[in-house]
Amino acid sequence: MSKLNVNIDHVATIRQARQVDEPNPVWAAVECELAGASGVTLHLREDRRHIQDRDVELVHEVTGLKCNLEIALTDPMIRFALKLKPDMVTLVPEKREELTTEGGLDCIKLSKRLGNAVKKLNKARIKVSAFIVPQADQIQASCDTGCDAIELHTGMYANAKSDRQIAKTLRDIESARDYGLEQGLVVHAGHGLNYRNIGPVAALGGLTDFNIGHSIVSRSVFVGLRQAAKEMIALIEKNSPSN
């Protein structure tokens, strides 16, 4: 059964809009834990536009949730991760001007830097995932550089408009999942997933973790975060092939 890691970055986005102390991401993480989520995903961006260093430290310390730290492949971020020791680091590409993560990490171009980072993180017993587009060459490069896992970018699927595009992008995710599993990688998925489009992806099976943020935090405005996370977990469970 796939597990849900709730990305709570946008709880911090609301707080940072006023530079005050609410809403608190630690409280958000506890609500996710009470909902039955298995983890939280926190993207510590280089510009610190939402989640702050202290948030990550507190969430990791206070909750029993799996902590998936998303960071750019830079020396200061790797140093932060080595100090924090989260359960998993997901390496993502990052551009300052983007609204959210665009595209996947280019594991071919960055293979040397990626390989060095994986070695350091693994030595500290931190698992490493690379956020990549669902393409065989990127999966192969993630595997060659020693990554433990990959997170398949579901943005193309989420943005697909026609039935044909949706079917094609879903097939791309499915083939990428198969290729990743054949290479011995753990396969996650995320980006742009919501209450309307999660069903077909969850039904593929073989994807151990879903990292979902914006849609859950958006729904939480109306029903509360615990309920919003519960509803997403229920959809994942209902659509998983084991059910």
Q: How many CA atoms lie within 13 A of 118 on its CB side?
A: 20
Task: Assess whether 43 carries a catalytic annotation.
Answer: yes
Asked if residues 60 and 47 have their Cβ atoms less than 8 Å apart, the reply is no
Asked if residues 44 and 80 have their Cβ atoms less than 8 Å apart, the reply is yes
Site for ligand PXP (CB under 6 A): which residue of 2, 7, 135, 169? 7
Closest separation in Å from C-beta 17 to ligand PXP: 17
Q: Does 220 bind ligand PXP (CB under 6 A)?
A: no
Q: Going by C-beta distance under 8 Å and a sequence separation of 6 or more, which residues neighbour residue 199?
A: 235, 238, 239
Q: Does 219 bind ligand PXP (CB under 6 A)?
A: no
Considering only 79-87, 141-149, 211-219, 228-236, which stretch makes contact with ligand PXP by CB under 6 A?
Answer: 211-219
Q: Does 157 bind ligand PXP (CB under 6 A)?
A: no
Footprint (CB under 6 A) of ligand PXP, residues 55-94: 70, 90, 92
The two tokens of residue 185 are 């990688």
Q: Does 2 bind ligand PXP (CB under 6 A)?
A: no
> What is the 8-class DSSP label of residue 197?
T
The two tokens of residue 97 are 């001007």
Closest separation in Å from C-beta 229 to ligand PXP: 12
Q: Of the residues 50, 153, 188, 191, which is catalytic?
A: 191
Residue 113 and residue 78: Cα distance in Å, rounded? 11
Q: Helices 25-35 and 9-18 sit at what angle, rounded to 10 degrees? A: 150
Active-site residues, by number, are: 43, 70, 191
**Site residues (CB under 6 A) for ligand PXP?**
7, 9, 43, 70, 90, 92, 100-101, 131, 151, 190-193, 211-215
